[in-house]
Chains A and B, each alone.
Chain A
Amino acid sequence: MKKLLMSSAATLALAVSAQAADVKVGSVGGITGPIAEIVADVYEGRNLAAKHVNEQGGMFAGDTLVMVPGDGACDPKAAVDAATKVVNVDQVVAIVGASCSGETNAMVQAVTIPAGVVNVSDSATAPSITDLADNDLVFRIAPSDAYQGYALADYVLKSGVTKVALTYSNDDYNAGLGKVFEKAFQEKGGTITSAQVHEPNKASYRAEVQTLSGGEPEALVLFAYYGSSGISITRNALETGSFTKFFGADGMINEETIKQIGAENLQDAAYTTPGADDTTASYTAYAALASAGGLRNAFGPYVPNGYDATFLMALAIEKAGAPDRTKIAAALREVANAPGEVILPGEWEKAKALIAAGTDINYQGVSGEIEFDAKGDVSGVYTLNTVTPEGTFKTVLLK
C-alpha cells in the first residue's frame, strides 16, 4: 500500500502529461441535491461551452475537452468524495464547480487545495470562500452576495417603495443575501416592517405571508430558490391577497416561475441577477448560441455562469499550453482580466488563434466582465429582470 502510494506521488506529474487525446476537466455540482432543478440547467450551460470548444477545433492540436461529472449533491461529504474521484482517478486538469457554498468549501479545503488543482465555481457565493488560504487555486465567477443585496436595496428605494416585508429561505445562499439586504435597506433609509427566515420545502406558507403583511408593507422582498419555496410563497401571497408586489433575486428567475404563477400576476415583480444586460455583445452572442444549443433555461440561475466558468477554464488550459495543473491559475487571470483582445462567448476558434499567436485575450462573460481580483473573486454587474405580459423575462442593467 505504502509502496503503491510512493510510486503514486512520484508519477503524478507524469500521468497528467501522459494523457493524449482527452483533456479532462472535472464538472462537480449538486446534481442530486436539494437544488437539483437549478443544477441540471447549470450543467447544460457547462456542457454547451465544452461543445463549442470541441466543435471549433478542440484543445491544443485537436484534443477533446471532456467534462467528467461528479455529483456533490450539495452535501460536503458527497462533494469531497466526488472531487477525490475526479482529481485522483480521472486525473482532471482542473475543476469547474461546485454548486453550493458548503459543497465548494469542503471540496476545495479537503481535496483540491492539497492536491494543487484549480477550481472555478460558478455559483458558490459565501463570503467565507474569499478568505480561504487557497494558494491561489480557488476562483469563482459568482460575485459574493454582499453586492447584490446592496444593488437590490438601491433599486427598491429608487422605485419609490420604502416599506417592505422581508422573508428569506434558510439556506447558504438566500440567507446571506437576505441579511445583507436587511442591513442595506435600513441604512439607506427604508423600513422593514418584518423580517422572517423561512424553512424551505414546506407545503404551505400562507400563515407566514399573512403575518408578514402586518404593518402595511408595500411589497414583499423574497429571497428563495423557485423550486424549494419561492414559487410557493409567491403563490400563497397572491392567493391570500397579502402581497401583489414582489422583489427578489436570481433564485427566482426561471420560466417555471412564470408558468406556474402566470405572467399577469407577476407584472409587479422584479428580480436582480448578476450578469450582463441584453445590450452587451456577450449577451447577444450567448443568447443566440444558447437557443441554437437548445438550452431549456439559458438565463436561469447560474446557467450563464456555468457557461462562462467552463469556457474560461478551457481558455486558461489552452493558454497554459499543456494540461498542467500548476499553470492554470496564472493562465486564468491572463485570459479573464483586461487588457487584451476581447473574446465573446462561443468565440473559441478566434481565441485559439490569438493564444497561438501569443496575443493577450480578455474573455467577456455573460455573467459579467469577469475580472478576477487577488482573492479569485469577481465583482459583478447586476441586471434587473421583470416579467413581460407575454410571459418572458426582460433584462435591463442596474445602476
Chain B
Amino acid sequence: MDGYALYVVGLLTAGGIYAILALALNLQWGFTGLFNAGIAGFFAVGAYVSVILTAPESPTIIGGYGLPLVVGCGAAMIASGLVAWGIGRVCIRLRSDYLAIATIGIAEILRLVFKNESWATNGPRGIAGIPKAFEWVPYPWNQVAFLGMVLATVLVIYLALETAWRSPWGRVMTAIRDSEAAAKASGKDVERFRLESFILGAAIMGLGGAYFAQYLKYFGPETSDPTSVTFLVWVMLIMGGSGNNRGAVLGALLLWAIWSATELLTSMLPPDWAVRSAYLRIFLIGLVLQVVLQRYSKGILPETRPAVVGTSTRAGATTGNAT
C-alpha cells in the first residue's frame, strides 16, 4: 500500500490548505455572518504577492527577489488583509447577499487584473519555478515535511480561532451575526468588529494562497478560478458545519477526499470511457454532495455555542447542540 500512502500525503496537503481557507471563511461567515464570495480574490492576492517576493529573478515577472518563504507568507497575509481593508471600508456595511455579490465582483476584477497585467504576473502564462518549503529534504520526505507544515498551520489557526471564539471578542461577533440591532443597542461598534473579522479572515485566505502556490510550484490566473476556490470552500464549510471550526476542517478534508478519490473509481472504467468517466465523476461529486447535505442539514458537525466564561472552561468542546 506504499503508493496509497504517498497519495494520502498529497490528498492531505491539498485538503489541509483547503482547511485553512475553510477556517478563514468560518471566521467570516460562521462567526460574524459576513457573506464573502470573493475568497478566490484574497487567495490570488496572497499567492501572487508571496511568489513575487520569493521567486528567483525572472524577466517575465516583476520582483523575483528570492526572499525567504516566511517573508513571502507574512507579506501574503498583510497584502490580503490590506485589500480586505480597502474593500471592507466601502462594502462592509452591505447586508449579506449584497456583500456576497460585491466581493464576487471584486474578486473577478482582481483575477482579470492578474491575467492581463502580464508585465507583472506573466499574465495567462503564469509563474513557474516557485520555491517550496523543505525542498532540500530528499524525496518523498520533502512532501511529508510540507504536509507537516500545512497541518501544523491548520492546527495553529484552529486553536487561535477556538480561543477567539470563546473570548469576549468572539461573543460580540456571534451577537452581531444573530442580531445586529441588538449588538448595536448594547453599544458595540458593529462595523469595526465586522471589519476586523473580514480582514483577519482575508489574511488567512492570503496565507492559503501562498501555500497553494508553493505546493503547486506554479501559479497562474486559472489557479484561482471561482469554482474551484470560492465555491468549493463554501461547500466545504457548509457541509462540515458552519460556525464549528472542527466542522470546517472536517468538511474541507472530506470534500477534497470525495473530489479527488472519486477519480480512482471512475478511472477503472474502460479506456474508451476516459473522457466520459471524467464527466461521470463530476456528476458523482454533485450527487454525493446532495446526499450529505440532505443527511446533515446543519452540517456534519453543527455549531455548538461556547458557554459563558466562568461556568465551564470545557463547555465549548462538548458536542451537544445548544442552538
CB atoms of A and B under 8 A apart anywhere in the complex? yes
Task: Select one of B116, B212, B260 contacting A170, CB under 8 A.
Answer: B116
Contact yes or no, A75 B228, CB < 8 A: yes
Task: Return A285 CB to nearest CB of chain B, in Å.
Answer: 22
Identify the B interface with A (CB < 8 A).
1-7, 9-11, 14, 60, 112, 115-116, 118, 122-126, 128-129, 132, 139-144, 212, 215-220, 222-223, 225, 228, 259-260, 263-264, 267, 271-272, 274-275, 277-279, 281-282
Residues of B within 8 A of A176 (CB): 125
Contact yes or no, A114 B140, CB < 8 A: yes
Contact yes or no, A69 B277, CB < 8 A: yes
Contact yes or no, A5 B5, CB < 8 A: yes
* Complex Cα spacing A74 to B228, Å: 12
Task: Return A358 CB to nearest CB of chain B, in Å.
Answer: 31
Contact yes or no, B123 A175, CB < 8 A: yes
- Which A residues from 275 to 296 make CB contacts under 8 A with B? none
Given A80-B215, A105-B128: A68 and B267 interface contact (C-beta under 8 Å): yes
* Complex Cα spacing A356 to B144, Å: 41
* Complex Cα spacing A380 to B143, Å: 37
- Per-residue interface assignment for chain A, residues 53 to 96, with 1 indicating a CB less than 8 Å from any chain B CB and 0 otherwise: 00000000000001111110111111011101101111100000
Identify the A interface with B (CB < 8 A).
1-2, 4-5, 7-12, 15, 27, 31-32, 34, 39-40, 43, 47, 50, 66-71, 73-78, 80-82, 84-85, 87-91, 100-102, 105-106, 109-111, 114-116, 126, 128-129, 132-133, 170-172, 175-176, 197, 199
- Most B CB atoms within 10 A — which of A1, A76, A132, A175? A76
A-B pairs, top 6 by smallest CB distance, nearest first, are A8-B2, A69-B274, A84-B10, A109-B217, A31-B278, A106-B218
Name A5's closest neighbour in chain B (CB-CB). B5
Contact yes or no, A9 B2, CB < 8 A: yes
Residues of A within 8 A of B144 (CB): 2, 5
* Complex Cα spacing A90 to B55, Å: 33
Contact yes or no, B126 A102, CB < 8 A: yes
Given A11-B2, A84-B7, A85-B260: A170 and B124 interface contact (C-beta under 8 Å): yes
Contact yes or no, A69 B216, CB < 8 A: no
Contact yes or no, B281 A71, CB < 8 A: yes
Name B256's closest neighbour in chain A (CB-CB). A81
Contact yes or no, A8 B216, CB < 8 A: no
Q: Interface of chain A, helix or strand or loop or mixed?
A: helix
Name A33's closest neighbour in chain B (CB-CB). B222
Contact yes or no, A89 B215, CB < 8 A: no
Task: Select one of B140, B215, B225 contacting A8, CB under 8 A.
Answer: B140
Name A80's closest neighbour in chain B (CB-CB). B216
Name A86's closest neighbour in chain B (CB-CB). B267
* Complex Cα spacing A322 to B114, Å: 45
Task: Return A178 CB to nearest CB of chain B, in Å.
Answer: 11
Contact yes or no, A76 B216, CB < 8 A: yes
* Complex Cα spacing A43 to B274, Å: 8
* Complex Cα spacing A34 to B14, Å: 22
* Complex Cα spacing A87 to B129, Å: 21
What are 8 of the A-B contact pairs (CB < 8 Å)?
A: A8-B6, A85-B264, A88-B10, A102-B222, A102-B223, A128-B60, A172-B126, A176-B125
